[in-house]
């Protein structure tokens, strides 16, 4: 096996072996749009590309240092750590955050764990204080007939789909500038109502511009009497469907537009040949009703997916002293962002 940097003409081969949208070639271009330095590495067996991963570095303001990341990449091994170390030195990185797209456990009946026995080498890294993705997610096997998927849902979820249909809620695939703008308008209402921080409209517009030719981004908008009530932004990567972003209106909640939007998104994924639906994150098996994201957790759970626990988030620390300072400052930064969101919405 050898690992080397990839050339632009190897884009298709690379996309065929990565498992998550944030590891796709397109996402690397999106990272560049945000001012980050991007490296794509391919792992070859007898000149055949069998795996790969993208590492990006973000320059920190007013200093010569950067912070790196390799999110939802392959399992960590010795060779990967050595290659990333070399890139980290070149970019004066304080650390590189690694979050493999590898599940460690799945849960049955909410509590009982079954191991996947993943192979991962964490000897050169430390457990991170901060995750970028949720450490848990629901994954639904959608390579089944629709009637089986409906049967495996929670009774209330199934009822709400029928209710939305009876009310005449209509879900349209609007993977277009028009559909994106509709989502962004609804997103502004959602973030204001729920007092949370999300990406700017320009973030989503850049993402759309770079992904529109790939067909990766799918936008499902749910209407009732001509009024947009719910929106789902999904992504497709190598036979997997991902529930990436969503927004909903506070109006006409009784017609259950978000539930139908989710179901129609699953059906869209099936029509595209996807076999798995990754719901991007959930609270975990010990979720409590008082937690801020519990409603969203319960909503996802209702569709009958299996809860998976990832192997974790790890930091490859290059400069230990600055790493400690960075973590302290980052905690205060996020507290400030949350405070700004609350003040903005008062």
Assess whether pLDDT exceeds 80 at residue 169: yes
Assess whether pLDDT exceeds 90 at residue 199: no
How far apart, in whole angstroms, are the C-alpha atoms of residue 122 and residue 77? 7
In the chain, where the domains are located: 2-103+313-344, 139-308
pLDDT classification of 112: cutoffs 50, 70, 90: confident
DSSP strands (E only) in 123-163: 126-127, 136-141
- Rg, Å, the chain Cα set: 21
Q: Mean pLDDT throughout 102-120?
A: 89
Assess whether pLDDT exceeds 80 at residue 46: yes
Q: Mean pLDDT throughout 110-127?
A: 90
Q: What is the predicted pLDDT for the residue at 158? A: 98
Assess whether pLDDT exceeds 60 at residue 344: no
Neighbours of 28 (CB within 10 A): 22
Q: What is the predicted pLDDT for the residue at 292? A: 87
> Structure tokens of 169?
């809620």
Q: What is the predicted pLDDT for the residue at 126? A: 96
Assess whether pLDDT exceeds 60 at residue 215: yes
Q: What is the predicted pLDDT for the residue at 346? A: 52
Assess whether pLDDT exceeds 70 at residue 44: yes
CA-wise closest residue to 73 among 49, 45, 100, 46: 100
pLDDT classification of 77: cutoffs 50, 70, 90: very high
Superfamily covering domain 2-103+313-344: Gcn5-related N-acetyltransferase (GNAT) (3.40.630.30)
Which tens digits make up the pLDDT trace of 16-41? 999 999 999 999 999 999 999 999 99
Which tens digits make up the pLDDT trace of 224-254? 999 999 999 999 999 999 999 999 999 999 9
Superfamily covering domain 139-308: Gcn5-related N-acetyltransferase (GNAT) (3.40.630.30)
Q: pTM, whole model, 2 decimals?
A: 0.92
Q: Mean pLDDT throughout 146-154?
A: 98
DSSP per-residue codes, 211-255:
HTTTT-EEEEEEEETTEEEEEEEEEEETTEEEEEEEEE-STTGGG
Which tens digits make up the pLDDT trace of 261-285? 999 999 999 999 999 999 999 999 9
**156 and 302 Cβ atoms separated by less than 8 Å:** yes
> Structure tokens of 231?
């929106």
DSSP per-residue codes, 292-305:
TTHHHHHHHHTT-P
| Helix 201-211 × helix 177-194 angle, to 10° | 150
- 175 — phi, psi (to 5°)? -80, 75
How far apart, in whole angstroms, are the C-alpha atoms of residue 266 and residue 243? 9
Q: Is 333 exposed, middle or buried (0-12, 13-18, 19+ CB in 10 A)?
A: exposed
Mean pLDDT for the chain overall: 94
């Amino acid at each position: 096996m050898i690992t080397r940097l990839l050339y632009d003409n190897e884009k298709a081969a690379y996309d065929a072996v990565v498992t998550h949208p944030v590891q796709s070639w397109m996402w690397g271009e999106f990272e560049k749009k945000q001012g980050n330095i991007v490296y794509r590495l391919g792992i070859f067996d007898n000149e055949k590309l069998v795996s790969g991963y993208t590492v990006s570095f973000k320059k920190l303001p007013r200093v010569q240092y950067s912070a790196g990341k390799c999110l939802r990449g392959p399992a960590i091994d010795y060779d990967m750590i050595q290659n990333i170390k070399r890139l980290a030195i070149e970019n004066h990185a304080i650390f590189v955050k690694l979050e493999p797209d590898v599940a460690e456990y799945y849960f049955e009946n909410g509590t009982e764990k079954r191991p996947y026995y993943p192979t991962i080498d964490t000897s050169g890294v430390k457990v991170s204080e901060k995750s970028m993705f949720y450490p848990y997610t629901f994954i639904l096997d959608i390579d089944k007939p629709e009637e089986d998927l409906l049967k495996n849902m929670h009774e209330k979820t199934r009822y709400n789909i029928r209710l939305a249909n009876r009310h005449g809620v209509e879900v349209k695939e609007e993977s277009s500038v028009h559909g994106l703008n509709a989502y962004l308008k609804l997103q502004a209402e959602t973030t204001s109502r729920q007092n949370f921080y999300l990406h700017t409209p320009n973030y989503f517009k850049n993402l759309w511009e770079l992904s529109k030719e790939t067909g990766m981004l799918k936008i499902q908008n749910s209407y009732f009497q001509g009024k947009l009530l719910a929106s789902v932004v999904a992504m497709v990567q190598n036979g997997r469907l991902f529930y990436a972003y969503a927004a909903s209106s506070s109006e006409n909640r009784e017609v259950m537009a978000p539930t139908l939007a989710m179901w129609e998104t699953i059906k869209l994924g099936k029509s595209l040949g996807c076999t798995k639906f990754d719901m991007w994150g959930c609270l975990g098996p010990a979720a409590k009703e008082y937690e801020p994201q519990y409603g969203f957790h319960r909503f996802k759970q209702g569709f009958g997916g299996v809860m998976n626990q990832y192997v974790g988030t790890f930091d490859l620390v290059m400069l230990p002293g600055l790493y400690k300072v960075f973590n302290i400052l980052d905690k205060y930064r996020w507290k400030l962002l949350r405070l700004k969101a609350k003040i903005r919405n008062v």
